[in-house]
Amino acid sequence: MKCSRCLLQLQCVSLVGRSARSAARCGALLQTASSSQPSVLHNAQHQVLRLFHTSPACAKSEHIPAEFDHENNKKRDKSLITHDDLFERVAQEARTKATFNKVVDVFTKRDIRRRGHVEFIYAALKKMPEFGVERDLAVYNKLLDVFPKEVFVPRNFIQRMFNHYPRQQECGVQLLEQMENYGIMPNVTTKVLLVQIFGEKSHPMRKYQRIMYWFPKFKHINPFPVPQQLPEDPVDLARFSLRRIANDLDAKVTIYQLPCTDVTESGQEIKLPHIVGIQSPDQMELLAKHNPSRPVFVEGPFPLWLRRTCVYYYVLRADPTPPEEKVEEPYDPERCLDYPLQLDLDLDRDLGDDESFDVEDLDEGPVFGMCMTSQGDQANLNQWISGLQQNNPVLGRVPTLFRLDTGPRELQGPADVESGHTHRPEPETQTQEGQPEEESEEEELRRSQRMK
């Protein structure tokens, strides 16, 4: 019995020792865990900070010092250079074709992707008249070459149907429209460039085809064409303009005075203007039959536009002939055999035929001659009338009145105003000698009342 009790006590003691040792181990583990907890939390905190990302709004809301902000604005201003400024910088030397091509080459070599090419082409089209290259076909082809090649070509029918790259196609059409406005016909190089840039089925290619269809038809349709380069000499320009107005092959152009400089007795230099006139044999015949008791009038100036050049001319005319003084002359049937002047045809009339015509025939009076001068004052026009008296002696017996005005203000350029070529209004005066001034005023009053 005693032996069995002793064995039970030994077993209990061993179990207690084991539990004590396990408790000691657990305490040690808890102590190490408590001592290492701050480092673990610190490492975990570092890992969380590394994975945290801020939003763009937070970055923008941060305060930036003023000096750094000023430097960033300077860099931004330098990077954003408009194409107009690029043309203005290069144009400080001279506005020529070489400088224009230089600007295009600078833009082409700046970026291989040609970013901003649409804005550059629009700016170049606007600056072309200032550089004098608005009628140069080679410059238009050089602008087309700015477009990237084979980028805007549609690959399938859906892209063609939905107007592939509409902004670039509109820019190409605008370039072709400016060529059309200046009368520039495209060539084969233009077609090749359009095919490489936009393809066969595109709006710029259709515009090119329409230009090539209509331009040859209308190129020589004007029976009175105006040359591209007008004469620079004022006398030659006046001769060309008068022949264009008269439209009579028998009309004769006479130069009454050439532009020159005269020195007076006091040593003062006076610039004499040119005076060029034109008169046809029919006008000389009408002037010879004019009634000397009825005055003739010198009127003007009247503007004439020749492309971008405006010139002024003056006319010598009379009032319409009163009905009681009109004499119908019998026509000559052999004057023109191909186109008879009168036809006497006895045609049967129906009851529904209306023989009355609502045609308003306005008789403005005959025109006896025209002239052009750079200074349209009464003294210069008197010299023209004196020159006409050599071939028209009736002018010595006919009173001459002047009706001169300034003409439209918008038609006078700044160069004419500075040089003193503006037309000043002159009062209506009478140059016929031997007649009192009162009769001239009474005649003018009667004439104005009759016109009213």
How does pLDDT run across 193-243, given as a tens digit for each residue? Answer: 999 999 998 999 999 999 999 999 988 888 888 888 899 999 999 999 999
- Domain ranges for the chain: 83-219, 234-329+363-404
What separation, in Å, do the N-terminal and C-terminal C-alpha atoms of the chain show?
167
Q: What is d(CA 292, CA 396) in angstroms, rounded to the nearest whole number?
A: 9
Helix (H, G, I), strand (E, B) or coil at 24: helix
Q: What is d(CA 20, CA 14) in angstroms, rounded to the nearest whole number?
A: 10
Mean predicted confidence (pLDDT) in 251-269: 86
Q: What is d(CA 374, CA 420) in angstroms, rounded to the nearest whole number?
A: 9
Q: Considering only CA atoms, which of 203, 208, 196 is closest in space to residue 149? A: 196
Mean predicted confidence (pLDDT) in 313-326: 88
- Alpha-carbon distances, residue 218 vs 136, 214, 223, 354 (angstroms): 20, 6, 11, 39
CB 278 within 8 A of CB 243: yes
Q: Which residues pair with 407 in a beta bridge?
A: none
Q: Side by side, which strands form the sheet with 252-257?
A: 252-257, 275-279, 367-373, 309-318, 296-306, 400-404
Tokens standing for residue 272: 């004499």
Q: Considering only CA atoms, which of 241, 214, 247, 248 is closest in space to residue 227? A: 241
The string of pLDDT tens digits covering residues 34-43 is 444 444 434 4
Residue 377's pLDDT band (boundaries 50, 70, 90)? confident
* DSSP H/E element including 302: strand 296-306
Residue type, 413: G
Question: Which of the residue ranges 225-239, 303-317, 350-364, 417-431 would you say has the lowest mean pLDDT?
Answer: 417-431
pTM: 0.60
pLDDT above 60 for 80: no
The whole-chain average pLDDT of the chain stands at: 76
Question: Which of the residue ranges 59-68, 101-110, 257-266 would you say has the lowest mean pLDDT?
Answer: 59-68
Q: Considering only CA atoms, which of 80, 170, 162, 159 is closest in space to residue 125? A: 170
Phi, psi of 183, deg, nearest 5: 75, 30
